[in-house]
A = this chain, B = another copy of it.
Amino acid sequence: MTDVALAERDGGTAWRRIADELADAIGRGEYKLGDTLPASVTLAERYGVHRHTVRQAFRHLADQGLVTVSRGRGTQVTAPRLPYPIGRRVSMRSNMGKLGITGTSRMLSAEVVVGEAAACTALKLKTGTPLWCVQGVSMADGVPMGTGMHWLSVERFPDFDRAYRDAAGSITAAFKIYGITDYVRLSTRLTARLADEREAELLEIAPEAAVMISTAVDALPDLTPIHLVSSVFAAERMEMVIEPFGD
């Protein structure tokens, strides 16, 4: 064991023991879904440790998806995060179906805009090409999961606002209206930031909660890009799963 290890050992062991005990208590049903765990100061006193050590235990439980830590509301026992597989095929709704969860979506707005450089480049169109900019929100069993801004060529997808609404907010179903029965996920870029007021309201999360930001391009099977979507997901409810060998 190294010097560093010896120096960090006690703090290291303490948070892990607290996390294990809390995880066990959740497992036994002592704390149920929606329950708030004791405050960090209370637990720090009980275990005779610094409250930072208790908070580290909370973070560990949060990373395992057992609790959600938020300012003001404390540390609550939560449902496990919804796994969202990212591979060559991405259909949020069919994925939820496999888990016995009902996926729904609704359109928030639809407008035609002059395509800006970033969007047009991703879609391999000339800057300035008219694009649909359609916003929707997706729910899992009625709980908001994410909101997406979809960009598509107006020429390729005339009346897309109507198609998307007729398809009840399912991109896969909307594509079928245009005869597109198969499409693939070309690329996904993922990062995170804090939610703004509007996103927090829409996703029913605390203002300034963490959101995952995904920018993805879907393409026809011949890899022609047809759909750019920039999504904001409630990070406390979702995790992206990438399994390169699972295809």
Interface contact A4-B244, CB-CB below 8 Å: no
Interface 1/0 per residue, A5-21 and B, CB below 8 Å: 10111001100100010
A30 in the interface (beta carbon within 8 A): no
* Complex: A16 Cα to B112 Cα, angstroms: 13
A86 in the interface (beta carbon within 8 A): yes
Chain B residues whose C-beta falls within 8 Å of the C-beta of A212 in the assembled complex: 190-192, 212
A186 in the interface (beta carbon within 8 A): yes
Q: Which residue of B lies closest to A223 (CB)?
A: B245
Interface contact B56-A196, CB-CB below 8 Å: yes
Interface 1/0 per residue, A186-197 and B, CB below 8 Å: 111111111011
Q: Which residue of B lies closest to A243 (CB)?
A: B187
Interchain CB contact (< 8 A) of A116 among B20, B55, B108, B235: B20
* Complex: A239 Cα to B212 Cα, angstroms: 10
Chain B residues whose C-beta falls within 8 Å of the C-beta of A4 in the assembled complex: 107-110
A126 in the interface (beta carbon within 8 A): no
Within 8 A of B (CB), among A174-225: 184-194, 196-198, 208-213, 215, 223
Chain B residues whose C-beta falls within 8 Å of the C-beta of A193 in the assembled complex: 59, 62-63, 69, 210, 235-236
* Complex: A43 Cα to B189 Cα, angstroms: 30
Within 8 A of B (CB), among A104-125: 107-113, 116, 118
Interface contact A188-B242, CB-CB below 8 Å: yes
Sorting the interface of chain A by its residue count into under 10, 10 to 19, 20 to 34 or 35 or more gives 35 or more
Interface contact A63-B230, CB-CB below 8 Å: yes
Q: Which residue of B lies closest to A114 (CB)?
A: B16
Interface contact A192-B211, CB-CB below 8 Å: yes
A130 in the interface (beta carbon within 8 A): no
Q: List 26 A-B contacts (CB under 8 A).
A: A1-B111, A1-B112, A1-B161, A2-B107, A2-B110, A7-B109, A12-B133, A16-B116, A52-B196, A55-B196, A59-B196, A63-B215, A64-B118, A86-B242, A187-B243, A188-B242, A189-B240, A189-B242, A190-B190, A190-B239, A192-B212, A193-B210, A193-B236, A194-B209, A210-B211, A210-B235
